[in-house]
Amino acid sequence: MIRARYTRHDAYLGFTVAELLAACTCVGLLVLFVAVPSLKSLASESKYSKCLDRMRAIGQASLIYSATDVAESAIPVHEKQFQQDPYDPLYMGAYEWGGKSGVGAPIHNFGYPPPYNSRYGTVAGFGPAKRPLNNILYPHGFRDNFPSPNVPLDQAALMKDTGLALDKYRCPADDGPPKAAHCYDWMNNPARTSFDHFGNSYAANTFMVQYSGGRISSNSPYLRPLSQVPNPSRVFNYEENIGRWAWACKRPIAECDWVAVLDPGPGGTVRGWHGKNWTYNFAFADGHVDKKAIYVEGTQDTEGYAEHYLLDELTSPPFPPNCSGCPPGSYCPGNEGTPEELNQTYRCIIVRGDGWQKDTLPAPHICTGLYWGYSGRPSFEGCVSD
């Protein structure tokens, strides 16, 4: 019988130390390659969940606000809404309902340098102590760091208002503006979050429309009693600011070109903060929150443009208000325009999608007391250019 010879040296012929280390390194890299996408996915999901939770808190706080407000406002209204020049309005309420002092959109006639002259900031009257929903979400209260007349500006104190960590108004995924053409002051600062620019990651649904004579009315929950919001489980009060203008992008419906103000280009998109284009978080008038898409699949024309909301029609469109001399917040019945003009107008401003709607039709419009002397839709605080 032949026996295999075994020596002590043979025990070490399997792997050398260097080979073992190399093998461990390869295994480690493989595990890392598999794990990193999973970790990124978990982080993204965590941001999405926190964003929804914060929107839910805002929605619930709005219900509390409405229950205690004399006008039963579905969305908190800043006092300066009715204190501005009606023929040169600056504030339409999209951000001033809650949050901290913003640093964007300078107004140079304030007499202060940026960022103290922001239209969303303390000097303009929109510091954290003045934003009405803060009293509910942060009941301990705030004191705006703005000096009395003839007192030198304390820049260090004022910056405290812009640096407040009011996380209840900050989406964790908020990483700056869309890439489409809008809000040029924000786009010129692409690393600046919406939270820092406006003082808020979220925008209120302040959908405004304009008729003959430049009179502006609200076709949204803004300036409207909560009890006068139809379908509160479909009408949203708040949206992530990244998607505020997505519905207004160029569409293949020629007759509604006067509505669209943004052109991201054929096949272009307005990104979402949570990794999916045309898809954003909403807080609805009944207090619930959800993620919704502003896009209609299969509607692309030959150039690549698509619908960004459904083109619905009302069988009997309500008349727009006659807002001449109408006090803010009042209902104003009236009849302006021919039936054909009214039908086309309403066909283009019914803004709805799968499980959501921006408009409150067929409820009556509400007069704002403001005027817009330019063509197209009223500008959203000078943020969107035709």
Residue 384 belongs to some domain of the structure: no
Residue 173 — very low, low, confident or very high, per pLDDT cuts 50/70/90? very high
Q: Which has more pLDDT, 262 or 130?
A: 130
Q: DSSP letters along 357-374, please?
A: ES--TTSPPEEEEEE--S
What pTM was estimated for this model as a whole?
Answer: 0.84
Q: Is residue 342 part of a domain?
A: yes
Separation CA 12–CA 241 (nearest Å): 65
Question: Which domain, by its residues, includes 344?
Answer: 42-371
What percent of the chain shows pLDDT beyond 70? Answer: 74
Percent of the chain with pLDDT over 90: 38
- Is cis: bond before 362, omega within 30 of 0? yes
Residue whose C-alpha is closest to residue 124's, from 115, 134, 133, 137: 115
What pLDDT is stored for residue 385 in this prediction?
Answer: 38
Query: Do 132 and 78 touch, CB atoms closer than 8 A?
Result: yes
Q: What is the pLDDT of residue 199?
A: 97
Does residue 75 belong to any structural domain of this protein?
yes
Q: Note the pLDDT of residue 226.
A: 97
**If we measure between CA atoms, which residue out of 367, 361, 336 comes closest to residue 348?**
361
Which structure tokens are listed for 42? 């978990």
Confidence of residue 369 (pLDDT cuts 50, 70, 90): confident
Backbone angles phi, psi at 342, to 5 degrees: -65, -45
Residue 11: inside a domain, yes or no?
A: no
Question: Does some domain include residue 228?
Answer: yes
93: left (phi over 0), alpha (psi -120 to 50) or beta: left
Q: What is the pLDDT of residue 211?
A: 59
Give 2-57 pLDDT, tens digit per residue: 555 545 555 444 568 777 777 777 776 676 565 556 656 677 889 999 999 999 99
The per-residue pLDDT for 332 is: 53
Q: Is 89 part of any domain?
A: yes
What's the domain count of the chain?
Answer: 1
pLDDT band, very low/low/confident/very high, at 228 (cuts 50, 70, 90): very high
Does residue 273 sit within a domain? yes
The answer as to whether 243 is a domain residue is yes
Does residue 82 register a pLDDT over 80? yes
